[in-house]
């Protein structure tokens, strides 16, 4: 065996021993650089080819190449074995202790609009009212005509409407729920209607899609005094005891007489602030005695049966309740804002 053959054999034996005895991937890689790198021992051996004859170069090159292939294969096997062992060790070290207390993930919370809705429903249910819902796409008849708003009535101009087709609209208020209940349920009746409504409107105090809640009571003897007592009770429960209410004459086609309802500002208790524009009062909704024309459309005998109705915008109630300065914060659903409301 020539001297170069002996050197190649020594390099091969030492490299194989180093690869198999490496304790981790880094040490193995360092050994690879030592033997197979640009300045490695096997690379240095190849520089000897410059001094050999053409016949010797061919034989020597073959032998060097065989050693290189053998060492690269050995390195790959050793690397694979080490990586498997390291993964196993890592998995053992990272074993989950099931007895440790878990980290609580951040939890969601109810949206302010639905917090307000739930609270209103809870308050009114204590007076015997029960919840109803209705379709978002309504027939023109239920959205307007059955509520004493016939075609070409000026009141239609008060509600910019999204029309689906000639006979259907996106409901502009939740009042159609009253008509459906009057047509399908036995009297006497106390109901709450709630859900989304749609109008062509958008600014700091209006949204094209918002939510309403309203109540209706129908019985044999119902008066304006019953309506005022119901709303006064609601205001005290929802905004706080001791707040006064007042009723201003207004017009709604489906109630007669009709009124706008104000209550003392729950933020400043009537002393004047930015929310109530220093007036001490804030508008919360509309109300009135059910118009006989509405009973006529529902085929209910008047004055044998009488009733009152009232309604609030849920976004507006949330703004008043929580002192929100821009209604557009509510549909944006910014998690930071919603988290503050939940707190």
Beta bridge partners of residue 170, listed in sequence order? 137
pLDDT of 269 reads: 87
Q: Does residue 341 register a pLDDT over 80?
A: no
Alpha carbons 180 and 228: distance in angstroms, whole number: 25
pLDDT of 299 reads: 94
Alpha carbons 281 and 272: distance in angstroms, whole number: 8
Q: What is the pLDDT of residues 78-108, one digit of tens each?
A: 888 888 888 888 877 777 777 878 788 777 6
Q: pTM for this structure?
A: 0.67
pLDDT band at 203 (very low <50, low <70, confident <90, very high): low
pLDDT band at 8 (very low <50, low <70, confident <90, very high): confident
Q: Which CATH architecture has domain 112-342?
A: 2-Layer Sandwich (3.30)
pLDDT band at 342 (very low <50, low <70, confident <90, very high): low
Beta bridge partners of residue 197, listed in sequence order? 210
For the chain, the domains span 3-93, 112-342
Residue from 33, 34, 29, 42 nearest 70 by CA: 42
pLDDT of 202 reads: 64
Alpha carbons 214 and 174: distance in angstroms, whole number: 7
Residues 137, 142, 146, CA angle at the centre, nearest 5°?
165
Q: Does residue 207 register a pLDDT over 80?
A: no
């Amino acid at each position: 065996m020539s001297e170069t053959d002996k050197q190649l054999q020594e390099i091969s034996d030492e490299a194989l021993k180093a690869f198999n005895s490496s304790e981790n991937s880094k040490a193995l890689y360092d050994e690879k650089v030592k033997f197979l790198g640009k300045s490695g021992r096997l690379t240095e051996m190849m520089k000897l080819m410059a001094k050999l004859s053409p016949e010797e170069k061919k034989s020597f090159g073959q032998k060097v190449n065989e050693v290189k292939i053998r060492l690269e294969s050995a390195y790959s096997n050793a690397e694979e074995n080490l990586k498997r062992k390291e993964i196993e060790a890592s998995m053992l070290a990272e074993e989950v202790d099931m007895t440790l207390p878990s980290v609580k993930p951040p939890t969601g919370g109810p949206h302010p609009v639905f917090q307000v809705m739930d609270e209103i429903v809870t308050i009114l249910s204590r007076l015997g009212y029960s919840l109803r819902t209705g379709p978002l796409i309504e027939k023109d008849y239920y959205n307007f005509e059955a509520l004493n708003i016939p075609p070409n009535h000026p009141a239609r101009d008060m509600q910019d409407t999204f029309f689906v087709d000639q006979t259907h609209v996106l409901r502009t208020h939740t009042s159609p729920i009253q008509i459906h209940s009057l047509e399908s349920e036995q009297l006497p009746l106390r109901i709450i209607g709630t859900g989304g409504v749609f109008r062509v409107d958008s600014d700091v105090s209006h949204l094209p899609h918002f939510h309403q809640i309203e109540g209706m009571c129908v019985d044999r003897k119902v008066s304006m005094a019953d309506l005022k007592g119901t709303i006064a009770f609601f205001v005290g429960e929802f905004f706080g005891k001791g707040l006064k209410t007042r009723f201003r004459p207004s017009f709604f086609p489906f109630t007669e007489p009709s009124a706008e309802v104000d209550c003392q500002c729950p933020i400043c208790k009537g002393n004047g602030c930015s929310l109530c524009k220093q007036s001490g009062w804030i508008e919360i909704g509309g109300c009135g005695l059910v118009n006989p024309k509405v009973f006529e459309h529902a085929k209910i005998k008047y004055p044998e049966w009488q009733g009152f109705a009232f309604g609030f915008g849920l976004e507006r109630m949330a703004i008043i309740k929580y002192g929100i300065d821009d209604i557009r914060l509510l549909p944006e659903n910014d998690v930071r804002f919603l988290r503050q409301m939940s707190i």
